Structure 1
Amino acid sequence: MTSMDDTMNITTFTTEDLSSISPSPTTDEDYYDYQDLLCDRASVRAFRGWYEPPLFWMIALVGGAGNLTVVWIFLNFRRRLKTMSDVYLLNLAVADLLFLFTLPLWAAEASHGWSFGSALCKLNSALYKVNLFSSTLLLTCISVDRYVVIVQTTKAQNSQVERRRCSRLVCIGVWLMALLLAMPEFVFATTTNVESQLYCRMLFPAHLGNRTKILVLSLQVSMGFCLPGIIMAFCYSVIIATLLKTRNFQRHKAMRVILVVVVVFIVSQLPYNGVLVMEAAQASNMTMTDCKEMKRFNMVGQVLKSVAYMHACLNPFLYAFVGVRFRQDVLQLLRCCVQPQTIKSQLSKTSRSPLSSTRASVMSDSDTSQVLSL
């Protein structure tokens, strides 16, 4: 370990400094106070080495299969996107896929360090954040669209063309916002040696102080959870109140769908964002000083991070596969896989059939139950 006097003379952390740092070098904004250097976290890195790779590969494979199915159906069974939610769902699937593509690299790093170079380190870190923010913002857009369709039904029906055009502009804005929020990864992500192994980490120059880490963590929590969560809570609360006033026999199904969506979002995202808030507090005033306590906190953070990542696997089932038409499209896709020669005839029938084009779509603009993907 480098002496404290030597450490004080550098502007970024050296290899010796980094040998004792936190377990989650892939995506967490890692700036460490000198007191952290007194805690050897090799056991935490070992925990990450056996825990993350199989779980990340499972999330990547399951989520990849689900989201690829969504994209394939949109591109092959639906010649054009008919509703705002169709546009949001396609962009959500693409965002989740791009995020899932980063997980094998993080799994490889957890096993034997980062061996893909500094440029890919920056790209992979930024890609993770771009799709973290874009996915959450797109889920917010879907909740707003459901609100408009159910609570302001007449307005929604009279402005379908304008709303579809608006949805494309909103998606462009979402991606640009996500790119902007991911700029710290482009700037600060880099590779560094930790006990003779390279790792990809967020390293802040010492002269910037802890405020940079606190700012980055605050942006992630506020834009990646708090603001979207508040908007989603408002929209779904008003939707439930509206459904309670209707006599539609499917309203109970609709409310169950809403409840599942909200519960899954809170259960998967709230605990890990709580960890990020505690990390910001730690960077601000060193709330934890005991080494064993810090190592337990790091391990818990890894587990909760994995739970948050599972949301990318669940999105296709929560927002697409629960839809009547989407389920039928999936069955049709399976039949096409079993009998490849029927693909052209099936696609032709789908594009010609008026029933297919008017059937209840995922969150269709015409009916409450259809809007909620029942």
Structure 2
Amino acid sequence: MMTSMDDIMTEFTTEDPSSVSPSVTPDYDDYDDLMCDRASVRVFRGRYEPPLFWLIALVGGVGNLAVVWIYTNFRRRLKTMTDVYLLNLAVADLLFLVTLPLWAAEAWQGTWSFGSPLCKTTSALYKVNLFSSMMLLTCISVDRYVVIVQSTKAQNSQVERRRCSRLVCLGVWLLALLLATPELVFATKEESKDYCQMVYPSHLGNRTKVLVLSLQVSMGFCLPFLVMAFCYSVIFAKLLRTRNFQKHKAMRVILAVVVVFIVSQLPYNGMLVFEAAQAYRMTVTDCEELKRLDVVGQVLKSLAYLHACLNPFLYAFVGDRFRRDVLQLLRGCRCRTTASKKPLKFRSPLSSTRASVMSDSDTSQALSL
């Protein structure tokens, strides 16, 4: 789970905040208990997060399960690098979405009642999803760049690229697990506290919190954003020079992908930067302002979580071939339940020669699968 304001605020002192050494870091919960009653924030969280988290879990679960369902029913469909990345992206999002009911229950009850081991597991699963999904989205943008901008090279190296995609996915998962190590080590539910949160030993100092937050912002947003911005800007420029009726749809898809990524991720990562500054040296000590910032942080966190349920619609269901696969499977299920009717024949999506930006055979289609 993303680190809340409770987890990173430190440095309680009666001295002027600007004079406090960042290496002396009493827990912010002490500051909360002694100086600022934030019960209203907890009430807001209990009303706001549970229904939204359940909605994200249900919608995202259906969408991502559909992606996995398609790829497992059409095994030969994994014929491009982006196909492999999308399957792994759906699995990563599902791992995160199964944890949301637990966080919803914590917000509703006002306490984490599932024990410290599950606290570590759910916190780590969130970070694994965060890093793996952002890296996979980056890989998709790079693959689109190669297929469209360097189409000749892509055509001549299809087999090697498919083999490479599996190795890339393995590397992504291993790196995501490595980056989630702080959650496995520091996430816990203390007996004296009500919440599952990151608890750092006092001897490690406040800089450890700053390092963890900086790692999340840099690897979970900044680096993927820079790569995606470069790839999609070059793709967009190339499409502008293309005379094809599909290019307008392709440009709309690119704009949607970039806009959703920025709107859902940039505000919360900006809040994380502010929280890192707070963790290093208290710049805000007014109770009312702290409560307002905490509420804003909760809202922006939920906005960032929406990306897990929007990914299937941005990257999979936008494709004509993917929609045809879904319809074929649904019709096949309906036909099997009607024993008296002769099964209908459907043209296999594998027989279609129409391809897309996400496939290697024809880049004129509009970012469809």
The answer (yes or no) to whether the contact 1:122–1:190 under 8 Å persists in 2 is yes
The DSSP-based 3-state class of the residue aligned with 1:85 is helix
Distance in structure 2 (CA, Å) of the matches to 1:249 and 1:80: 26
Instruction: Write the mapping of 1:212-227 to structure 2, written as runs, cut at 5 A.
Output: 212-227=208-223
Q: 1:124 to 1:54 in 2, by over 3 A?
A: same
Instruction: Tell me whether 1:100 sits opposite 2:85 in the alignment.
Output: no
Distance in structure 1 (CA, Å) of the matches to 2:336 and 2:74: 15
How big is the shift at 1:179?
Answer: 0.6
The answer (yes or no) to whether the contact 1:88–1:171 under 8 Å persists in 2 is yes
How big is the shift at 1:210?
Answer: 1.2
How big is the shift at 1:193?
Answer: 4.2
Q: 1:85 corresponds to which letter in structure 2?
A: T
Partner of 1:159: 157
Distance in structure 1 (CA, Å) of the matches to 2:253 and 2:273: 30
The answer (yes or no) to whether the contact 1:326–1:362 under 8 Å persists in 2 is no
Instruction: Tell me whether 1:191 sits opposite 2:150 in the alignment.
Output: no
Partner of 2:44: 47
Q: Deviations over 1:152-180 (max 9, x none)?
A: 00000000000000000000111111011
Q: Deviations over 1:265-311 (max 9, x none)?
A: 00000000000000001111211110110110000000011011001
Partner of 1:335: 331
How big is the shift at 1:198?
Answer: 3.3
Residue from 355, 358, 363 that aligns with 1:363? 358
The answer (yes or no) to whether the contact 1:31–1:204 under 8 Å persists in 2 is no
Q: Deviations over 1:104-126 (max 9, x none)?
A: 11111111121211111111110
The number of residue pairs the alignment matches comes to: 347
Instruction: Tell me whether 1:67 sits opposite 2:38 in the alignment.
Output: no
State which drifts further: 262-271 or 34-43: 34-43
The answer (yes or no) to whether the contact 1:144–1:232 under 8 Å persists in 2 is yes
State which drifts further: 31-40 or 312-321: 31-40
Residue from 117, 127, 130 that aligns with 2:128? 130
Partner of 1:270: 266
Partner of 1:302: 298
State which drifts further: 317-326 or 197-206: 197-206
Q: 1:346 to 1:277 in 2, by over 3 A?
A: farther
Residue from 106, 109, 114 that aligns with 1:109? 106
Q: Deviations over 1:173-226 (max 9, x none)?
A: 1111101110000000011246xx732110011221210110000000000000
How big is the shift at 1:339?
Answer: 3.3
The DSSP-based 3-state class of the residue aligned with 1:370 is coil
State which drifts further: 157-166 or 34-43: 34-43
Q: Show structure 2 runs of 5+ residues with no match.
A: 14-27
Distance in structure 2 (CA, Å) of the matches to 1:67 and 1:45: 31
Structure 1 segments of 4 or more deviating over 6 A? 23-28, 345-348
Alignment RMSD (CA, Å): 2.4
Q: 1:29 to 1:180 in 2, by over 3 A?
A: farther
State which drifts further: 48-57 or 330-339: 330-339
Distance in structure 1 (CA, Å) of the matches to 2:78 and 2:183: 33
Partner of 1:18: none
Distance in structure 2 (CA, Å) of the matches to 1:362 and 1:180: 32
Partner of 1:57: 54
How big is the shift at 1:39?
Answer: 1.6
Instruction: Tell me whether 1:283 sits opposite 2:279 in the alignment.
Output: yes
Q: 1:346 to 1:75 in 2, by over 3 A?
A: farther
The answer (yes or no) to whether the contact 1:324–1:362 under 8 Å persists in 2 is no
Residue from 215, 226, 237 that aligns with 1:241? 237
Q: Deviations over 1:117-139 (max 9, x none)?
A: 11111111101100111011100
Distance in structure 2 (CA, Å) of the matches to 1:31 and 1:214: 11
How big is the shift at 1:27?
Answer: 10
Instruction: Tell me whether 1:32 sits opposite 2:10 in the alignment.
Output: yes
How big is the shift at 1:247?
Answer: 1.2
Partner of 1:169: 167
Partner of 2:310: 314
Normalised by the size of structure 2, how large is the TM-score?
0.88
The answer (yes or no) to whether the contact 2:131–2:220 under 8 Å persists in 1 is yes
Q: 1:32 corresponds to which letter in structure 2?
A: T
Distance in structure 1 (CA, Å) of the matches to 2:171 and 2:297: 31
How big is the shift at 1:25?
Answer: 6.4
Distance in structure 2 (CA, Å) of the matches to 1:347 and 1:363: 29
Partner of 1:83: 80
Partner of 1:178: 176
Q: 2:365 corresponds to which letter in structure 1?
A: Q
